[in-house]
Amino acid sequence: MKTLKFKTNINCGGCISKVTPFLDKQEGINSWEVDTNNPDKILTVESNAATGEDVKMTLQKIGFKAEKID
């Protein structure tokens, strides 16, 4: 299992409810959460198969930006 972190523009409960069905059904993601209190709106993904690129592409399809951070 690996942890992926992204700087995003997911900044409120409404945004989280919009991305939830997409991230929940994303192949290879075990769990995820967004820290909306952090100024960079950090998305943390626990993944056993999904890559950073997979997550980025999923978010881009629904209008959100994600920039992988280390």
Question: What's the pLDDT score for residue 70?
Answer: 77
- Distance (Å, whole) CA 69 – CA 4: 8
For the entire predicted model, the pTM comes to 0.93
User: What's 10's domain CATH number?
Assistant: 3.30.70.100
Per-residue pLDDT tens over the stretch 4-13: 999 999 999 9
Question: What's the pLDDT score for residue 52?
Answer: 95
Q: Which domain holds residue 52?
A: 2-69
> Hey, what are 42's tokens?
């950090």
Domain count, the chain: 1
- Distance (Å, whole) CA 62 – CA 65: 9
Per-residue pLDDT tens over the stretch 9-68: 999 999 999 999 999 999 999 999 999 999 999 999 999 999 999 999 999 999 999 999
**DSSP character string of 21-51:** HHHHHSTTEEEEEEETTSTT-EEEEEESS--
Question: What's the pLDDT score for residue 6?
Answer: 98
